[in-house]
Chains A and B, each alone.
Chain A
Amino acid sequence: MKTLSLIAVVITGLLLLSAVHDFPDWADPESPASDYRLSQHYITQTFPETGVPNMVTAVLADYRGYDTMFETVVVFTAGIAIIGLLRRSPSSRNKDKGKATRTYKKKPDLIVDTTCRLLIPIIQIFALYVIAHGHHSPGGGFQGGVIFGASFILITLTRDLQAAQKWVPEKRILNLAGIGVLLYAGFGFACMLLGDNFLDYAILHKIMPATPTEARYHSMLGVEIGVAFTVTAIMFSIYSNLASNGEMKETL
């Protein structure tokens, strides 16, 4: 098996290498990818068309918004899939010959506890800043959502899962995640109901007190918040399922 995979890997590697000399030089401004009208359009027209200075956010949430909606769905899918695969009620555990019956964590160490008490609000505020400021600086719904989810993971690590579940109860996780995706899709369907194509935010100026360009700007903020909801909930859900082996009872 090892030699076979080595042969396959070497063949693939040589195949890939054989095309490298055909590539444009690294960082060449004249390369087709940089020179083609697609990239030029994104760079020069994003701000006039959408009012968003961060081109990545604009392309992500507007020009290729359909892709990003499915990117959110990928996260959602992974969350549901992991719940479907791993989740089980703790009572079924007794059959597993009672191994690893760990007791709950003792009261956490004073230094760790205090540090986290101080850190977690800052992390969460930073996450909100990343979500809200994604139009002007690097960041956006996804990054902010991961950071927000990480703050709950930190609570779980320092205290235990019960402490974190006070903020995000297990019953609510799927609701939160679903609401995030629905919020994203809702912007799309609203555009459809108003008579334009799916995700064509400009038409929303009819129901928003805004011009078409502003409608695009604000709708993008809306969908980013939707992404953040989903990612926050699912990241925490994946971690708590993996760390508690699907029982949602005790963690590591």
Chain B
Amino acid sequence: MEVFDAISAKFNYWIYIIIMMIGLYAMMSKNNLVKKLIGMSIFQTAIILFYVSIGVKEGATIPILYHEQVHPAHDSGHHGSDTEHAADEHVTAHATDLHIEPDQFTNPLPHVLMLTAIVVGVATLGLGLALTQKLYREFGSIEESEILESIKSAK
């Protein structure tokens, strides 16, 4: 059981490395330009998986406060009729006696970072595909070796 625990404690990190290496190998060795880009996306998602794994916390839930924490039961009835200003006083007043246990929620920071990384990933993928189409328009092929050959023969 101890060996089993040792494996289960880290296997996420191992598999992220395997996926990442699959992607990296495809990026470097594939001949087809679209395949390279698929490899690139796999490579990037593997890094995102790594970051998300950092944020996981035993016994914690998603990083959104419970409804009861935001709107305590005793004033939920007349909350809707509050004026804007009173609502804020209510928030600050009740924020002071709000008890949020740090252990209760997952770490939100890696999630924030990875939202950005996903966006960067799709932007890079789109740009790479645009370059692929431009290359196809100019050389009539999406195989790297064929493009290199046609450059050589054009010389």
Contacts and interface: CB of A to CB of B under 8 A. Distances in A.
Whether the complex brings A and B within 8 Å at their CB atoms is answered: yes
Interface of A: 1-2, 5-6, 8-10, 12-13, 16-17, 20-21, 23, 25-29, 31, 33-34, 38-40, 42-44, 46-48, 51, 53-56, 59-60, 64, 67-68, 71, 74-75, 77-78, 81-82, 85-86, 96, 136-138, 142, 209-211, 213-214, 238, 241-242, 245-246
Contacts, number: 177
A78 B57 contact: no
A245 B123 contact: no
Contact of A136 (B11, B17, B64, B109): B64
B127 interface: yes
Contacts of B123: 74-75, 77-78
Interface string B58-99: 111011110001100000000000001101110110011010
Given A25-B9, A44-B100, A74-B123, A242 B107 contact: no
Given A56-B112, A59-B109, A78-B127, A12 B21 contact: yes
B105 A55 contact: yes
A241 B11 CA distance: 41
- Chain B's interface size range is 35 or more
B13 A23 contact: yes
Given A55-B64, A213-B88, A74 B111 contact: no
A16 B47 CA distance: 12
A191 B95 CA distance: 25
A214 B102 CA distance: 24
A137 B64 contact: yes
Contacts of A54: 63-65
Contacts of B139: none
A211 B88 contact: yes
Contact of B70 (A21, A28, A53): A53
A18 B55 CA distance: 21
A92 to B, nearest CB: 10
Contacts of A34: 55, 57, 107
A242 B65 contact: no
Given A59-B112, A71-B120, A137-B64, A246 B133 contact: yes
Given A27-B56, A34-B57, A51-B88, 11 more contacts: A1-B28, A26-B12, A27-B58, A28-B57, A42-B108, A43-B108, A56-B63, A59-B109, A81-B127, A86-B130, A213-B92
A5 B29 contact: yes
Contacts of B62: 138
